[in-house]
Amino acid sequence: MATKKTTKGVSTTRSKKTAASVKPVKERKVKAPKSEPTEEQIRKKAEEIYHERIARGEYGTAEDDWRNAERLLKGIK
């Protein structure tokens, strides 16, 4: 069944969508939990954070750098 829509003297035909013509909803992929970072990976990331922090002239501690590295590697905001 088609319906007509008139816009300023111009006639257009629109068809109703049927259940068969509607695209199925794409399923969301569930992300697998990240594996725990190793101590070596955390150490390297903490060192990177340390060098960046020092280059910016910011105050901080090694413990702060370590916690930030763990948080970043685990994907925690």
Pairing relationship of beta strands 10-15 and 2-7 according to DSSP bridges: antiparallel
pLDDT in tens, 14-32: 656 565 666 767 777 766 6
For 25-57, b where at least 16 C-beta lie within 10 A, e where not — what string?
Answer: eeeeeeeeeeeebeeeebeebbeebbeebeeee
For the CA atoms of 29, 31, 32, 35, what is the dihedral angle to 10 degrees? 160
Q: Can you give the pLDDT at residue 76? A: 85
pLDDT in tens, 33-45: 667 899 999 999 9
Q: Are 2 and 13 in contact (CB under 8 A)?
A: yes
At 60, is the pLDDT very low, low, confident or very high (cuts 50, 70, 90)?
Answer: very high
